[in-house]
Structure 1
C-alpha cells in the first residue's frame, strides 16, 4: 500500500523505474518461451500481468501529476507519465514480442479460442497492424518515432493547461448579477488602496460568472482568457501534433487521422460518423435557429442589441430561465449542499445496483480533502469489490475539470482471484468554509452523477482482461453509463429524497422542481 504522505520525487521515480524493470523481466520470460511451447497462459495471460505492473505504477504515481500540491512531486510525476507513455509505445513496437504473439496465433489452441480470449487475440493482432507491422521496418520505425513525439506533445500541452493561472480583477460594483454569497467567496486583491475581487478560470468561479454576470464586456474578457489557456506556445504544440498525427496516418495507409482513430470505435468508418453528424445537424438546425431567435429577441428587449456573441449564450439562456421559467440556479443551489448530493448519489446507486459503500478508513490519501470508500455487494459479506476516491475541491495546479481516473484496473489474476479496481473522481466544486457550505448548482449535480457513472463502470467491471476492463471500451460507448446516470437527477422522486435546504433542511419545493423540469 502506497503512503502518499511519505512519497518524494526520488521514491516516485524509483517506484516507476522498478515497475518498468519488472515488466521488462516478465516480458523477457515471455519472448524466451520456445515456439512449440506457446500457450494462451504463458503468452497472453503472462503479457497481461507484465503490462499491469506498469499500468498500476501509472495509476499510483503518474496520477500525482494531476492532483499533487507539491511542485517537485507533481513535476516528477509528469515526467514519469511521459516516460511510461513512451515505454508503452516501445512495447507496442517490440519485434520479439510480436513474434511471440504470432507464434501463439498459429497454434491449434489459438484457433479454438472463444469469448474474451478470442477477442483479446483479435484486438492484439489488430493493434500490431495499426503500429505498422505489415509495413517495411524503416516505415515502422518512423511511425514509432512519431508516436513518441505525440506522447511528448501531449504532456507539454496538458502541462500548459493544468498550470495556467489567469483571472480578471474587478471592483465589487462591476460584479452586478452575482449574489453576495458568491462574491464573498472570491479572493480579494488590494490595488491602489481599493479592494477588488479576483474571478479565476476555476469552474466554481468562471461558470457561474458566465451564467450570471451582467457585464458583457467582463464576460467577454473572462471567456477569451479561458479560451486562451496555455497561450500561443500551446497553439504551436497543437499544430505540430496535428501534423504528426497526419503523418502517422499517411505512413500507415489511412487517408486521415480521423480514419485511423475511428477504426477502433463502434462507428468503424469515418463515413458513418460524417453521415451521422450531418443527419443530426440537419434535424437539429430548425430547433437551434428557433432557440437563437428567442435569445436574440430577449437580448434586444433588455439590452437594445440583438447581436448574440458566444460569451452571451450562457448569460442569455440563464436570464431567460429566470424570467420565463422562474428557474434561478443560485436559488436552486441552496437545496443542494454537496454532502446531501453525495448522500443522494449513494442512495440511488446502492438501491439501483445492489451495492453498498463504506468509508475506507485505511485508504492512503494524497490530500486532506480526499475521501475514500470501499464498495461491497449489498447481499454478501467479505471483501470489498472495489475502492474509489473523491477529490472534489479546487487546488492550485490541480487538474482543472471533472473526470474519473482509473488507478488500478479490475482483471482476473492467474490464481483465479479478481484484482479489485481502484478509481478516483477528480472535480472542482466550491469548497466549504466555516461560514458557507459547498452548494452545487443543478448542472454541477448532473456533473457529479455523470462522473460517478464512470466510477461505477470502472469499479463494477467483471472483465477478465485489462484490454476490456471498466471504461476500456470503444470510446464512442464509454460515456453511455454516465449519461444514463444523469437522468436520475431529473427524476422528481429522486430529487425529493436527497435535496435539502442547507439552512432549513426542507426539500426542493414542488414549484421549483416543476419549473426545472419544464425548462429542461
Structure 2
C-alpha cells in the first residue's frame, strides 16, 4: 500500500543530512517548485544535502493535510474523490523520497546515516497514521463495497481492490490495542532493517586483503593484478595489491589465484560479514526482525510472515513456493555432487592432498571448464567491453520494440560516473530518461538494481508523466587505458537490470500506483530475466561482442565454446541460489519465536536439506540484505519462479525468430505495458496462450 509502506521503505534506504531552517529554504529548495530542467529531471546540480530534511518535513505536512481533507470530507465517497484523491496525495513527499532514497543508496556517508536514523521513526509514524486512519478507511470501504455497481475500467477496478486490501493488510480492521502493537512493531522493524543494511555495507568496506609479495599473485591475469594495484593506490597503499569482498574484486581472485590460503582468507571474509561479534554484527538484528515479523503476521491472523506475504504473489501460499523449490533442489543436487567429483579428480591428479572446499570452487571450476570445453573467460572478456555490451542491450530493445537511445549531455547527473540517455519511440516520441551507473564506490551499496526517480503515469490523459529511471551496478572498473571488460556474469547482469528498466519505461498505465514494476514480487523478475536469454545467442553476440582493440566480432569458435559450456556449473549455481531461497522461506514460515542463534538455525536447516559442505548459501543470514534490508522477505524464491516464466516466454521467440517483432509486440502490450493493472497469470496467458511449462527451465539448467 503506497502511502503506508513507501515511507517505511524510504526510511530504511537513507536520508541525506541537513540542519537548515525550513523557512530559509522555502524559496530556494529545488523540491518546492517544478523542476526547470529537460523533461523535469531532478536538478542534481542544485540539490544539496541541506534541502532534504525540510522537503521531507514539508512533504509530510502537506501529505497529512491532503489525507485529512479526504478522510473528513462531507461529500459522499466516490471513486474520484476518495480513491483517485488518495492515489494522488503526498506528491511532494513522493518527490523528495524518490530522489533521496535513490541517492542514499549510491552516495552513503555518516551524515546520511545519521539523518536516516533521525527520520526513520517519523516516516514510519507517517505511514502508520495513514494506514490506521479510521475515517479514511471508512470512505475507501464505502467505495469498495459498491464496486460491483460502479462503471470502472479494469485498471480502476484493480486499483480499488489493491488500495482496499492494502489498508486491510496495513491494519485498518484491527482493534485499537492491536493497532498500537502494529505501530510499535513497524517502527522497530524500520530501524532494524536500516541497521542491518548499514552493518553489511560497513562490513563490506572494512575487509581488505592486502598483498605486498608479488609471488602471492601467481595465477592472476595481468588485468586483475592491475586493478588490484590501482585499488591499493587509491587506498594509499601504492606498490601493493588490494582485494576486497566486492564481487568484481573477489571473484577473479577466487577464480585464478594459486594461493589457496589467501583464497580462503578472502572468501571467509565475505561469508562471515555480519558474523564477527563486533559492532556491525547482524546475528541479533536478524533474529529480532524474524521474530517481529512473526508477531506482525499473527496480529492479522496469519500463521507466519510467509503466509501474509505470499497471499498477494503469484505463488499464493508458502506450500506452493516450497513445491517448486523442492522439485528443483532434488533435480540440481546430484548435478552439484557430480561437479564436486570432477573438481576433486583434478585436485588429486595435481597431487593436492586436500578435499575441495568452498573457497576452492571457482578456482577448480575454471580448470574443469578449460579441460572440458577449452573455454577461458579471459579469452571472452576483450569481447565484452562495457560500452559495447550496453550498446548491445540498447540494440536489442531497438530490434524488439523499435525504440532509440539518445545520449543527453545537457541533463545533470547525480554522480560524475553517470551516463544519461533519452529513450524515444521509432517516430521520435519521448519515452523517458535513463541514468546508468556501473562501477563500485565505497559510498555505494553492493549488487545491482533498477529504480525510479519518477514513475510513468497519466497514459490516455491530458497530463502524461514520463518515467525517469536508473540502473545501478557494481561492475569491473576500467584500469589505466584498458576499458572495463565484463565477465559473462556481468554481461547477464547488465541485460537483466536493463530489462527491469524497460518494464518501467514501456509502462502505459493511467495511475502511478499500478505502473511499471508495481507488480507482485514473483512476476517482477520476468521482464528482467527474459533479457538474459538473448545475451549469448550467436545472433546477439554478433551484434555487440566486438574486441575492444580491433573491433573484430567474436570468432565463431568462441561462440561455439560458449554454447557448449552453457550448462556448465549449473548444479552449483542452482543449489547456492535455492539454499538462500529455502532459508528465506524457512525463517518466514516459523510460527514460534526463534530462540537459537541465526547461524545455528541456518546450519541445522541447510545441513538437513542435504546442502553439501563445498557450497555455501548464496546469501548467509547475516548479510542477506534481500530479506532483512530489502523487499524480498519470503520472496527470494521469486527469481526461480520467474525463471519458469522467462524460460517459457523466450520459447515464443525461439519458435518464431530471435527478434520477431510480432512476438515482441505481444510481450510489450500484454506484459511490459500493463504494470500491475491485472492478475499476472492473466497477463502471461494473454501473451503466451497458456500457463508456463517448467520444462524449458529444467532443460536450460541441464536438469532434464
TM-score, structure 2 as length reference: 0.69
Residue 217 (structure 2) pairs with residue 175 (structure 1) = yes
Q: 422-431 or 107-116, which moves further after superposition?
A: 107-116
Deviates more, 1:410-419 or 1:315-324: 410-419
Instruction: Indicate yes or no: 2:491 matched with 1:450.
Output: no
Q: Is the partner of 1:184 in helix, strand or coil?
A: helix
Aligned partners of 1:422, 1:84: CA distance in 2, in Å? 24
Which position in structure 1 is the counterpart of 2:272? Answer: 228
Instruction: Find out whether 1:276 has 2:324 as its counterpart.
Output: yes
Q: Is the 8 A contact 2:344 2:356 kept in 1?
A: yes
Q: Give the match for residue 93 of structure 1.
A: 132
- Residue of structure 2 equivalent to 1:26: 66
Paired residues of 1:93 and 1:144 also in contact (CA < 8 A):
no
Equivalence for 1:257? 305
What's the counterpart of residue 341 of structure 1? 389
Cα distance, 1:257 vs structure 2? 1.1
- CA 1:195 to 1:228, structure 2 compared with 1: closer, same or farther past 3 Å? same
Q: How does 1:401-480 map to 2 (within 5 A)?
A: 401-412=447-458, 416-480=462-526
> Do structure 1's residue 491 and structure 2's residue 537 form an aligned pair?
yes
1:322 is aligned to: 370
Q: Which moved more, 1:223-232 or 1:248-257?
A: 223-232
The CA deviation string for residues 236-268 of structure 1, in whole angstroms up to 9 with x for no partner, is: 211111111111112221111111111121011
Count, aligned residues? 516
Residue 350 (structure 2) pairs with residue 302 (structure 1): yes
Matched-pair contact (CA < 8 Å) for 1:190–1:196 = no
Runs of 4+ in 1 over 6 A off after TM superposition: none
Partner deviation per Cα, 1:160-190 (whole Å, 9 max, x = no partner) = 2223311211222112221122111213379
* 1:50 matched residue in structure 2: 89
**Cα distance change on mapping 1:302 and 1:482 into 2, 3 Å:** farther
SS of 2:383's equivalent in the other structure is coil
Match of 1:396 among 432, 442, 450: 442
Residues 452 and 85 (structure 1), Cα distance of their counterparts in 2 relative to 1, 3 Å cut: farther
Are positions 1:120 and 2:167 aligned together? Answer: no
| 1:489 counterpart SS class | coil
Aligned to 1:61: 100
Q: 1:76 to 1:372 in 2, by over 3 A?
A: farther
Deviations 1:400-453 (A, max 9, x none): 111111221112279632211111111112232442211111111111001101
1:90-143: CA deviation from partner (whole Å, max 9, x where unpaired) = 322222221221132244676443411111121222222222333321012212
> Would the aligned equivalents of 1:62 and 1:78 in 2 still touch at CA under 8 Å?
no
- Tell me how far apart the structure 2 counterparts of residues 196 and 244 of structure 1 sit (CA, whole Å): 46
What's the secondary structure of 1:437's corresponding residue? coil
**Contact 2:232 2:238 (8 Å CA) reproduced:** no
Q: How does 1:368-383 map to 2 (within 5 A)?
A: 368-378=416-426, 380-382=427-429
Partner of 2:182: 143
Change (3 A) 1:81 1:324: farther
Q: Is the Cα–Cα contact under 8 Å of residues 61 and 77 in structure 1 kept in the other structure?
A: no
CA distance 1:79–1:487, change in 2 (3 Å): farther
Structure with the bigger percentage of strand: 1
Q: Verify the 8 A CA contact 2:144 2:161 in the aligned structure 1.
A: no
Aligned counterpart, 2:249: 205
Q: CA deviation at 1:18?
A: 2.3
1:357 aligns with 2:401: no
Gaps of 5+ in 2: 1-34, 36-41, 567-704
Query: In structure 2, do the counterparts of structure 1 residues 473 and 324 end up closer, same or farther at CA, with 3 Å as the change threshold?
Result: same
Match of 2:330, SS state, is helix
CA distance in 2, matches of 1:26, 1:15: 16
C-alpha RMSD of the superposition: 2.4
What is the rounded CA distance, in whole Å, between the counterparts of 2:437 and 2:535 in structure 1? 21
Deviates more, 1:241-250 or 1:105-114: 105-114
1:256 to 1:107, Cα distance in 2 relative to 1, 3 A: closer
Instruction: Output aligned runs, 1:149-160, within 5 Å.
Output: 149-160=188-199
Q: Using the alignment, how far apart are the partners of 1:67 and 1:111 within structure 2?
A: 45
CA distance in 2 between counterparts of 1:194 and 1:391 reads 27
Q: Look up the SS of the partner of 1:411 in the other structure.
A: coil
Name the counterpart of 1:216.
260
Name the CA shift for 1:108/1:395 in 2 (closer, same or farther; >3 Å). closer
Question: Against the structure 1 CA distance between its residues 414 and 46, is the aligned structure 2 distance closer, same or farther, given a 3 Å change threshold?
Answer: farther
Say which SS state the counterpart of residue 387 (structure 1) adopts.
strand
Q: Quote the Cα distance in structure 2 between the aligned partners of 1:199 and 1:4.
A: 32
Q: Is the 8 A contact 2:72 2:135 kept in 1?
A: no
Which residue of the partner structure matches residue 415 of structure 2?
367
Matched, 1:15 2:62: no
Name the CA shift for 1:94/1:312 in 2 (closer, same or farther; >3 Å): farther
Comparing 419-428 with 406-415, greater Cα deviation is found at 406-415
Question: Is the 1:169–1:189 contact (alpha carbons within 8 Å) kept by the matching residues of 2?
Answer: no
| 1:221, distance to aligned residue in structure 2 (A) | 1.3
TM-score in terms of structure 1 length = 0.93
Displacement of 1:367 in angstroms is 1.1
Inter-CA distance 503–367: structure 2 relative to 1 (3 Å threshold):
same
2:226 aligns with 184
